[in-house]
């Protein structure tokens, strides 16, 4: 099997365009690093005989497929953010995924409008606190606005896609007026200017710069097995059971869609279904400490480390549609200034 790991995507796509569609092949366009996919794709080929040609596109996936038009070789798109996959739907480059496996495995709120995309794995955005300085074990997202955290809250940039998705979820649940007030309260609680990465907030908790922060769960997992200073950052934090008031935990997703003009549609469906299987879910989720969407996978690495989560039932399609409005509010309150 050939995977395009940081190869020239232009060169590979040209080769795919020049070659006739193969009955036993499938072409995958992905914004996920291929190294995180190879074990699953290898297993798929071994079990099905279908070769996967993977094209890594860091940016502009949907624009690329739209530009390629009816002759695009893309069969499956795999991306790591609900905004990205919804942008593909809005660009008109997807088609509904008709599959009994999808219907059985993936809850409705974790699928796109008209089943134009499906979640493969979940990652939660939760609160972590100083293990030494904070005693509580649970919190709501709304409680981050409590003035008791003044000068103690750390977060990466408000306009980063991870936070944009979270603020869009908050907006979907609470409306624009309450979300604006929430952002102002979070800004008032900041210990430093928003910035850096998710792992940096754990570093800053260790240093004493802040006591509480937002982080994606898979970063907690990656720090837990680190062989460098990041293991010390992990040891300094305590993950809290984090939910919306009266609701579940905010999640973002790795998601897949079938391209509108997929030349190998049957194999595209077969690949998506395989990635939802118990075996593939264990491989894929454990590779990056994400939560599997297949509920038959009971002992994933993320669950062993962090316990189970109950995702917020707000449809992710609604969250995606509110991302621009959320970004506008972040700018309005000067959150990142």
Q: How far apart are CA 335 and CA 176, in angstroms?
A: 15
Q: Does 323 share its domain with 229?
A: yes
Q: Does 64 share its domain with 116?
A: yes
Q: Does 233 share its domain with 257?
A: no
DSSP 299: S
The 10s digit of each residue's pLDDT in 207-264 is 999 999 999 999 999 999 999 999 999 999 999 999 999 989 999 999 999 999 999 9
Q: Does 217 share its domain with 128?
A: yes
Q: How far apart are CA 216 and CA 167, in angstroms?
A: 14
Distances (CA, A) of 11 to 8, 15, 59, 193, 331: 5, 6, 16, 42, 39
Q: How confident is the model at residue 125 (pLDDT cuts 50, 70, 90)?
A: very high
Please indicate, yes or no, if residue 212 is contained in any of the structural domains.
yes
To the nearest 10 degrees (0 to 180), the angle between helices 278-287 and 265-275 is 70
Q: Does 112 share its domain with 11?
A: yes
In the chain, the percentage of residues whose pLDDT exceeds 90 is: 75
Under 8 Å CB-to-CB from 227, ≥6 apart: which residues? none
Please indicate, yes or no, if residue 82 is contained in any of the structural domains.
yes
Domain range enclosing 116: 3-122+252-306
pLDDT exceeds 90 at position 33: no
Q: How far apart are CA 104 and CA 107, in angstroms?
A: 8
* Mean pLDDT computed over 93-114: 93
The 10s digit of each residue's pLDDT in 161-171 is 899 999 999 99
Q: Does 284 share its domain with 153?
A: no
Q: How confident is the model at residue 155 (pLDDT cuts 50, 70, 90)?
A: very high
Q: How confident is the model at residue 23 (pLDDT cuts 50, 70, 90)?
A: low
Please indicate, yes or no, if residue 337 is contained in any of the structural domains.
no
pLDDT at 34: 74
Domain total of the chain: 2
Query: What 3-state class would DSSP assign to 138?
Result: strand
In the chain, the percentage of residues whose pLDDT exceeds 70 is: 93
End-to-end CA distance of the chain: 48
Binding residues: 218-219
Please indicate, yes or no, if residue 35 is contained in any of the structural domains.
yes
Q: Does 128 share its domain with 116?
A: no
Q: Does 174 share its domain with 323?
A: yes
Q: Does 275 share its domain with 185?
A: no
Q: Does 245 share its domain with 256?
A: no
Q: Does 176 share its domain with 323?
A: yes
* Residue closest to 140 by CA, chosen among 150, 149, 130: 149
Please indicate, yes or no, if residue 270 is contained in any of the structural domains.
yes
Please indicate, yes or no, if residue 114 is contained in any of the structural domains.
yes
Q: Output the six-digit token pair for 181.
A: 């007030």
Would you mind telling me the total number of residues written for the chain in this entry?
337
The Cβ of residue 328 has, within 10 Å, a number of other Cβ atoms equal to: 11
Please indicate, yes or no, if residue 311 is contained in any of the structural domains.
no
Q: Does 27 share its domain with 165?
A: no
**CB crowding 244-272: b at 16 or more within 10 Å, else e:** beebbbbbbbbbbbbbbbbbbbebbbbbb
Please indicate, yes or no, if residue 240 is contained in any of the structural domains.
yes
Binding residues for Fe cation: 218-219
Residue 155 belongs to domain with CATH number: 3.40.190.10
């Amino acid at each position: 099997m050939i995977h395009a790991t940081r190869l020239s995507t232009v060169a590979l796509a040209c080769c795919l365009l020049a070659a006739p569609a193969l009955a036993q092949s499938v072409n995958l366009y992905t914004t996920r690093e291929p190294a995180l996919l190879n074990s699953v794709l290898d297993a798929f080929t071994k079990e099905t005989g279908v070769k996967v040609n993977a094209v890594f596109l860091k940016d502009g996936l949907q624009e690329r497929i739209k530009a390629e038009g009816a002759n695009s070789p893309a069969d499956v798109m795999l991306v790591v953010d609900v905004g990205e996959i919804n942008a593909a739907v809005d660009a008109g480059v997807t088609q509904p995924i008709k599959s009994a496996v999808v219907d059985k495995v993936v809850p409705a709120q974790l699928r796109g409008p008209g089943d134009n995309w499906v979640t493969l794995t979940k990652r939660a955005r939760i609160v972590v606190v100083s293990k030494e300085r904070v005693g509580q074990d649970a919190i709501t997202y709304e409680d981050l606005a409590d003035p008791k955290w003044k000068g103690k809250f750390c977060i990466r940039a408000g306009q980063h896609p991870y936070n944009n998705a979270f603020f869009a979820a908050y907006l979907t649940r609470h409306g624009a007026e309450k979300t604006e007030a929430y952002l102002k309260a979070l800004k008032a609680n900041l210990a430093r200017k928003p910035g850096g990465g998710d792992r940096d907030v754990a570093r800053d908790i260790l240093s004493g710069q802040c006591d509480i922060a937002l982080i994606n769960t898979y970063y907690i997992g990656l720090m837990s097995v680190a062989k460098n200073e990041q293991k010390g950052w992990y040891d300094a934090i305590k993950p809290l059971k984090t939910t919306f008031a009266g609701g579940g935990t905010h999640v973002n997703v790795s998601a897949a869609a079938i391209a509108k003009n997929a030349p190998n549609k049957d194999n595209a469906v077969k690949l998506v279904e395989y990635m939802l299987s118990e075996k593939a879910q264990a491989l894929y989720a454990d590779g990056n400490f994400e939560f599997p969407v297949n509920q038959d996978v009971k002992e994933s690495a993320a669950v062993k480390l962090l316990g189970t989560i109950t995702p917020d039932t707000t449809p992710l399609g609604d969250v995606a549609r509110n991302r621009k409005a959320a970004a506008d509010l972040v700018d309005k309150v000067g959150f990142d200034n």
